[in-house]
Each structure stands twice: as structure tokens, then as C-alpha cells.
Chains A and B, each alone.
Chain A
Amino acid sequence: MKRATLALGLAATLAASPVLAQQTPPVPGWQQGRPDSMAASPLAPHAPRLTVTPPDQVPVAALRVPQGFQIELWAHGMPGARAMTEGEDGTVFVGTRAIGRVYAVTEAGGQRSTRTIAERLTEPNGLAVRDGNLYVIAINRVLRYDGIGRRMGDVPQPTDLTSAFNLPTDAHHGWKFAAFGPDGRLYLNIGVPCNICEFNRDTHALIVSFNPDGSDRRIEARGIRNSVGFDFHPTTRELWVTNNGRDWAGNDIPEDSLHRIRRSGEDHGFPFCVGSWNDPAAGRRNCSEFTAPAALLGPHTASLGIRFYTGTQFPAAYRGAAFIAQRGSWNREQLSGYQVVVARLDAQGNVTGVEPFLTGFRDEANNRFLGRPVYVLPRADGSLLVADEQNGAIYRITHRQ
């Protein structure tokens, strides 16, 4: 078993003052890795909003998309709306974190309705649909709702697959993203249970896959600090994942990153490297021994949901490109992220550029934010849905010539 041994400031402090060491509590996750010079920094994670944002207060009028695109409020009244997946019948399922709910948005006769189909779960962000069954992955549970599409008004008791998957139960970075791969396996992330710490590189900071029943666990990628978004390239079928970089290393380092996983089991470098940046807290390593990111996505941007666009409604330049939602920073003096970007790829699958696509959530003048875009979902008609966690809303982006 490989162990990452990190020489952290905390460890040095404890060693220097053994009397205090017995009483000093571990540093909470969001403070871990914070240098003494930042001890009084007022930066702290932003509060979630768990109340309904009335539709007239959803900031859709402030949002900006490129020329030729339109954005509208598609669904609302779902506090904490995050990861989205679509059922075979077109139902859009929506996961959450703090409020513990799973929502479903259905359309009939031009009317759209939302309902809560599961509640009282611990951060049920991971959702995936296979053969008409909805998989819900909370921090401590894996549940399968069979035949959910036909039973929306009378949601069935789920089958509990928790013990079969046997996932770690750590709360910190324990929320999941989930997707079925083209190979029929269920892919999940397992984040590192801290900002930066000593951890087991065989059990955490991984992308893993399973058979749908929870058997045959396989490590798809290691050294991925905390990915809560991924998708499979439409032609190469390679797995592409976003990754959240560590906190407290400065306003501009490290950057969040996009990773292309060509072979199962590749090592992408956490805690040692992000690209060519060798984290001084993790010890010296030659970063060339790890798979380099396919792209850097900006410091502290909280890059979460990613989906490749294969529709025909958007102009040809967007076909095969990846939309990436950036929830936005807390560990940076000037806000970063709070937008959806588009990463374009060339024929070899190399990222040729990353540029803003949906903006307006960030109020630069006042260093505040109006919303937090977290996940994207292209639909069969070629439109693109964007979930805004802070406002419990989903927007639809369309294109007209």
C-alpha cells in the first residue's frame, strides 16, 4: 500500500510544541494547509441558500451568453439544485447537497413541473439512470429506484446497494458525482477527505468504476484530488474529469484542472503536482512522472460539471466541445469562476482553448455573486441546461440563427 507522507505546517507545529500537541484539535477541512500568514484571513466557504428563490428574484436578466444564444429560466423552486441527469423519458433528475433532496422535473403538454422524489439523504449529489432505474449516491448510501419513470407519483422504496459498493463514509469531499460509462459500468469519484493531508492513495483521490450491482471495483484514475464532474468523449470514449485544486496556497495557485484519462489507473498527481506546479506542502517530486492535465481551469474556480456537446442546434464550433460549470471561489480575495466555460478540442483531442460561455453571475464591482452555476446538461433538442445551486434554478440556453 502506497502512503503519501506530507510534511505539513501543522505537523511541524505539533512537533515544535509537544505540550500543546495533546490538546490541539485537528484543523477543520477548510482550514487545512492554511499557512500562519493567512491565519486571520476572513476567507471562509459561502453559506448555502436552502430557501426557495422566487422566480422574479432569479438573476436570469443579468446573465450573458454569446451572440445568437438565448438564456431563459427553465425550472425553479428547487433549493440547492446541483447535478442533473436525464431519464429515458426525458425526466431531468436533480441532486443536492445540504438540503438532502432529489428533485425531478417533468414536462407534459408544454407544462413543466418539479417535485421532490427523495429527501432526508446526506448530500445526494450523485445521480445516474440505467435501464429505467435511478441510482442515487449520497455520502453514506447507494440507492437504486427501480422503474422510476413510471412511478413518479408513487416513488418506490429503493433497493439499498450501500454495502455492495462499500464506499468510504468521510463527509469531507465525500459527496459524489456519478455516470454510467459506455462500457455499462458506474463511475464515481472518491475525494480526498481534507484540503491537503496524509491519505491513502489507493482509497481516496480516485475515480473508480463498478458493475451496476457494486461489484468489481476498478481504479480508473488516481491522484485526482476532488472531481465532482465527468463525461465520456463522444468519439474516443475517453473519460474526462474536472478537478478542484487545493485551498490556501495563494490567490492564483493552484489552478483547477481538466484531466483526460486514456488508460485505467493513470496517476494524475495529487497531492504532489498540478501540471508543473509541485506543491511545497507535499514534498519534492518530478511532476513529469504524472499525467499532465489536459487544461488548467483557473485558480479556485470550483470547476464541477462537464458535458461534451454533440447536438446540432449550436453552431458547428461547439460540436465536440466541452461545457464546464464553475461554481465559483471562496478561497480567493477576488472572486473567480461563477460562470460556464467552453473547452474546445482539436482532432487529436487536445484542448485548444477555454473561454467563457455563460457569464454575469459574478458582480465584479462589489466582489459578490448572484448565483452559482454547478452542472450542465445538453438535451436531445440541442439546448443546454445549467443548474444554479444558490438560486435552486435551472436555465436553458438555446441558439437561433
Chain B
Amino acid sequence: MKPAILAAALLAAAFIVPAGAQAPPEAEQCATCHGAEGRSETPNVPSLAGMPAEFITLQMILFREGLRDAPPMPQFAQGLSDAQIEQIAAFYASLPPGPAPDRGPRDVALAERGAALSARMHCGVCHLPDFRGRAQMPRLAGQREDFLAQTLKEYRDNRRVGTDTQMNAVMYGVSDADIAALAHFLAQRD
């Protein structure tokens, strides 16, 4: 993003952070892409509302330490203290989760196929049966479908790791079609 545009976006963001929750000043720029209430309208950018705080904190530190790359996040994370990161994480964890405003209609057959795959792959063991996530494991319910599909492919293709490599092993060899079904099923969950 060019500086001028970024500046304008930041200015706009300052006005659209929800009034109910206390947003730390560092979170203002987050809203530009991750959505005013933590529900992203930006393709391939995740919603953060209702994420486990621990997950956000760990990912921000991976960005800051240069261990995960998803531009422009490493740049934004530079110079943030642990305390600032934890404030941002607590803020987004406190926001009520919900689907992206531009979520599409449910494809019943695709969602059912995704549900069966999810059951077989035990996604709900770590991410919990309602997919709200816990600790280092993110909320999946209601996440952007495009982001889920992109992320699952990144894990499968070893272009991303978490704080460990569990998801790489989970996704090894999973087809694009199965990923599409999983992403649709999870995105349609509330």
C-alpha cells in the first residue's frame, strides 16, 4: 500500500473502530484490512473478532520475529512490544465474532461434504466442536471462505507453519476440491 493511501485508510479506520470496545491505538491500522468490527471484508484477509487472544499474540510475534511472512504484516509488527501485541489480541478476542458482511449463500451439498471431511480429519478436536478455537488454535467458524482456502493450501504446500508443524501434517496431500469443501463448511458456520 502506498503511504498516501495508507494514511487515508488509517484516518478512515480511526472513525470506524466500534465504540463499545476499547481499541488500543495500534489496532487502528488493523481495521483497514481486518474490518471495522474485526470482520474482514477484504479478500484473503482473516476476520479477527472472537479469535483466541493467544492465537493472535503468537502469530503477531511470528510476524515480528520474521518467522512468518504475509505482507504487510511483518512490517506492521516491527517495533511492537509484547504488551502492545497482547492489547491488540485482547481487543480482537473481545469482539463478537460473526461472518464477513459479504459472505455468500450456503451451498448445501458442498457444506455437507466439508462437514464429513472435517469429521474425518478431526478438525473439531483441537479447534473444538463448534470451531471457536482455543489457545494457539484459531477460530474457524464464520471465517472468510477465501482466506480459509488460501491458508489450508499454504499449509498443504509447506508455504506456512504455525508455532508448530501440526497443520502441515494435517493438510498433507489434501486436494483443492476437498479444501474448497472444508473452507465452505467452516465459513458457513456461525
Contacts and interface: CB of A to CB of B under 8 A. Distances in A.
Interface string B64-88: 0111000000000000001001100
A239 to B, nearest CB: 29
Given A50-B61, A119-B65, A26 B169 contact: yes
Nearest to A32: B169
B165 A25 contact: no
Given A42-B125, A120-B67, A28 B169 contact: yes
Contacts, number: 76
Contact of B164 (A39, A45, A50): A45
Contacts of A26: 169, 172-173
Describe B's contact surface by its main secondary structure: helix
Interface string B87-117: 0000000000000000000000000000000
A47 B136 contact: yes
Contacts of B164: 45, 98
Interface in B117-162: 120-122, 125-126, 135-137, 161
Interface string A13-42: 000000000011111111100000001111
A30 B121 contact: no
B169 A29 contact: yes
Contacts of B65: 99-101, 119-120
B11 interface: no
B66 A25 contact: no
Given A25-B170, A26-B172, A27-B169, A39 B122 contact: yes
A315 interface: no
A368 interface: no
Contacts of A152: none
A75 interface: no
Contacts of B172: 25-26
Q: In which size bucket is the chain A interface? A: 20 to 34
Contacts of B29: none
Contacts of A50: 57-58, 61-62, 163
Contacts of A98: 67, 163-164
A119 B135 CA distance: 25
A361 B62 CA distance: 27
Contacts of B126: 44
A333 to B, nearest CB: 15
Given A24-B120, A29-B166, A171-B165, A100 B67 contact: yes
Interface of A: 23-31, 39-42, 44-48, 50-52, 79, 98-101, 119-120, 171-172
Interface of B: 54, 57-58, 61-62, 65-67, 82, 85-86, 120-122, 125-126, 135-137, 161, 163-175, 178
